[in-house]
Chains A and B, each alone.
Chain A
Amino acid sequence: MSPELALAFLLAGFVLLIAVGIPLAFALLFASAFVIALEPGLDAVIIPLRIFSGINSFVLLAIPGFMFSAFLMNRIGVTEDIVALSDLLVGRIRGGLAHINVVASMLLGGVSGSSTADVAGLGAILIPAMSQKGYDRGFSAAITAASSAIGSIIPPSILMVIYGASANISVGALFIAGYIPGILVGLQQIVIGYWYARRHGIGAERQERAPGDALRVLLRGIVPMTTMVVIIGGILGGIMTATEAAAAAAAYVVLIGAFFYRTLTVQTLFEVAAETGRLTAVVMLCVGTATIFGWLMAYYHIIEVAGGWFEHFATGPVTYLLFVTAVFLFLGTFMDPAPAMLVFVPVIAPIADRLEVHPLLLGIVVVMTLSIGKITPPYGISLLLACTIAEIPLAASMRWTLVFLLAFCLLVAALILWPDLTLVLPRLLVPELAGA
């Protein structure tokens, strides 16, 4: 079979199957199995062999660790303390609840690694509170969903783990590269929240606190934040890989749940562990079947064919990154970030090398564009969740969602035009991993 024909069967089969509603993992499986069946030189045992080799990845072992931490933190009551800490930090600014929403997402993003868990935890607390204070429910849902995207950009991030495994680059360096873009997204959303509050005459939220109360809020908020020290300190100190740091973070959250919050029960531990297993499996089955798909693309040298086609449109680093942004924004509107990365990153990453695009910059651009896909309909899972919590139809939040989306795209464009914004921190902190 020629590479062009194999590409046509793989891509057309995959697109057709997901368009009719077949789950992505199975669409990848069927499209690959069809090509294997047509190729006399390939044996069916390639299917389980590749599924196994895809799952058997040390880097991806970080996923259950970060998921477990995120779910457990939501269950032991960390979210409420992070909201209180955010209130202490930014509540006094006009539009305080909007800022609390953003800052709490940034802080939770720094410890949890799962943006959907952030929407569920923060949305349940902040969306009703914002509605009570006179914020439009559409705005409340939009800012909750948009700010949750920060959770995928500020480390630790499950998407960065998957990207690191797909593109074969250091997850630790990618984590460090995510800080400045993540903080910039947060600042941008705080500015939008402030502008909204001024326009609608909404004031500050923060109540006066007794000094002892403020200290208590600070302490209770800072304790879960030390999880970030375990993760980033472990990676930067060269003590742990990202995978081991994820497991250490999970153990650390168990300890603070048991001894600091004292809300952790054996039943909670087992429920969270089972939930972690189920949701890890959903991602990893996609990884497994995408590995067959990717292996076939390599077998038929499709990556070179697709790469040549891609290079036809993108001749320099900037046009290439803008093209990648457009492609992944489109993919993110209807696909979950994990399978989108697993299928398409192996195609685009080799071209970046040829065009001398820094792999960390490409990683951040891909992670950012796919994470914002979680707020774009029809597959914007974070936006759907936020609208469900706000008890409004999706259309009611669209106006403000578009504002956040536009601002986000402008920031991605700025990062592409000024790569140092992303690369300065990894070059400073992990020069051996970030390159010159």
Chain B
Amino acid sequence: MSVVNRVSDVVERILNHLLAWLSLVLLTALVVQVVNRYILGLAWPFLQFLIPFSFVWITMLGSAVAVRHKLHFDVDLISPRLPPRARAVFGAVMASAVLAGGLLIAWTGVGFAGLGFLKKDSATDIPMIYTYCSILVGGILIVLLAAERLLVQIQLARGGAETEAPR
């Protein structure tokens, strides 16, 4: 197993833990909001920040994990009809495209994260950088995990690996 595979494994394990926690936090926050409103008669402004914060981070971190496992929706009409080596080349082209998409998200995400320093959440006064930087971080992680897919596909195309990247 290459260094890139090992690094990707570690990154994915961390991301899966974060995804689990963020999902549980999100669902709990929504339930607490209902309980607060109807039973306790309370309004916690922090929840107004926490809910979109968790949701946006789930989307960006989960999108990166989904790249590694090729979970993103696609219309795969060509690759099943190709011989193994051509399929690996095709897979490398697709992984490069996803990598380019990650770069685009990360590059444009830098300017967007900058806007987060200027804006505060209206309910809590928390700077929006904490939420806005998720796009930049997500883009970087997509690049990292797409790069691993690309390397695996290149190895497959060269006949140097026996298995595909994990699905």
Residues in chain A within 8 A of chain B (CB atoms): 18-26, 29-30, 33, 44-45, 47-49, 51-52, 55-56, 60-61, 64-65, 68, 239-240, 243-244, 246-248, 250-251, 269-271, 273-274, 276-282, 284-286, 288, 334-336, 338-339, 378-379
Pick from B59, B75, B78, B94: contact of A281, CB under 8 Å: B59
Additional pairs, 9, CB under 8 Å, beyond known A56-B56, A248-B34: A18-B75, A21-B76, A24-B72, A243-B30, A244-B34, A273-B19, A277-B22, A281-B58, A284-B62
A interface, over-half SS: helix
Interchain CB contact under 8 A, A68 and B23: yes
Asked whether A278 and B27 contact (CB < 8 A) given A19-B77, A20-B78, the answer is: no
The docked-state distance in angstroms from the alpha carbon of A29 to that of B34 is: 36
Interfacial chain A residues near B30, Cβ < 8 Å? 61, 65, 243-244, 246-248
The docked-state distance in angstroms from the alpha carbon of A19 to that of B78 is: 8
Interchain CB contact under 8 A, A278 and B62: yes
- 10 A-B pairs with CB atoms under 8 Å apart are A29-B104, A30-B100, A47-B104, A64-B26, A68-B23, A240-B34, A246-B30, A274-B20, A335-B73, A338-B73
Interchain CB contact under 8 A, B16 and A48: no
Interchain CB contact under 8 A, B26 and A285: no
The 10 A-B pairs at the shortest CB distance, nearest first, are namely A281-B62, A277-B19, A247-B30, A48-B112, A23-B72, A273-B20, A284-B59, A26-B101, A274-B20, A273-B23
The docked-state distance in angstroms from the alpha carbon of A286 to that of B105 is: 13
* Contact pattern, B 57-75, Cβ under 8 Å of A = 1, otherwise 0: 0111111011001011111
Interchain CB contact under 8 A, B59 and A285: yes
Asked whether A29 and B135 contact (CB < 8 A) given A19-B75, A277-B58, A278-B66, the answer is: no
The docked-state distance in angstroms from the alpha carbon of A20 to that of B72 is: 15
Asked whether A277 and B104 contact (CB < 8 A) given A21-B90, A251-B27, the answer is: no
Asked whether A282 and B19 contact (CB < 8 A) given A21-B94, A45-B112, A48-B135, the answer is: no
Interchain CB contact under 8 A, A282 and B62: yes
Please give the distance in Å from A66's CB to the nearest CB on chain B: 11
Interfacial chain A residues near B26, Cβ < 8 Å? 61, 64, 247
Residue of A nearest to B19 (CB): A277
The docked-state distance in angstroms from the alpha carbon of A20 to that of B96 is: 13
Interfacial chain A residues near B124, Cβ < 8 Å? none
Residue among B16, B33, B59, B97 facing the most chain A CB atoms (10 A cut-off): B59
Interfacial chain B residues near A64, Cβ < 8 Å? 23, 26-27, 55, 58
The docked-state distance in angstroms from the alpha carbon of A241 to that of B33 is: 11
Asked whether A44 and B111 contact (CB < 8 A) given A18-B74, A274-B23, the answer is: yes
Interfacial chain B residues near A285, Cβ < 8 Å? 59, 63, 66, 72
Interfacial chain A residues near B27, Cβ < 8 Å? 64-65, 68, 247, 250-251
Pick from A48, A251, A288: contact of B31, CB under 8 Å: A251
Interchain CB contact under 8 A, A23 and B74: yes
Please give the distance in Å from A242's CB to the nearest CB on chain B: 11
The docked-state distance in angstroms from the alpha carbon of A107 to that of B84 is: 43
Residue of A nearest to B76 (CB): A21
Please give the distance in Å from A335's CB to the nearest CB on chain B: 7
The docked-state distance in angstroms from the alpha carbon of A339 to that of B73 is: 9
Query: Is B156's CB within 8 Å of the partner chain A?
Result: no
Interfacial chain B residues near A51, Cβ < 8 Å? 105, 135
Query: Is B24's CB within 8 Å of the partner chain A?
Result: yes
Please give the distance in Å from A67's CB to the nearest CB on chain B: 9
Interchain CB contact under 8 A, B111 and A280: no
Interfacial chain B residues near A336, Cβ < 8 Å? 73
Interfacial chain B residues near A271, Cβ < 8 Å? 20
Please give the distance in Å from A312's CB to the nearest CB on chain B: 28
* Contact pattern, B 110-126, Cβ under 8 Å of A = 1, otherwise 0: 01100100000000000
The docked-state distance in angstroms from the alpha carbon of A207 to that of B49 is: 55
Interfacial chain A residues near B132, Cβ < 8 Å? 48, 52
Interchain CB contact under 8 A, A278 and B59: no
Asked whether A274 and B115 contact (CB < 8 A) given A55-B59, A248-B31, A281-B62, the answer is: no
Pick from B23, B51, B136: contact of A276, CB under 8 Å: B23
The docked-state distance in angstroms from the alpha carbon of A51 to that of B107 is: 14
Interfacial chain B residues near A25, Cβ < 8 Å? 63, 72-73, 101
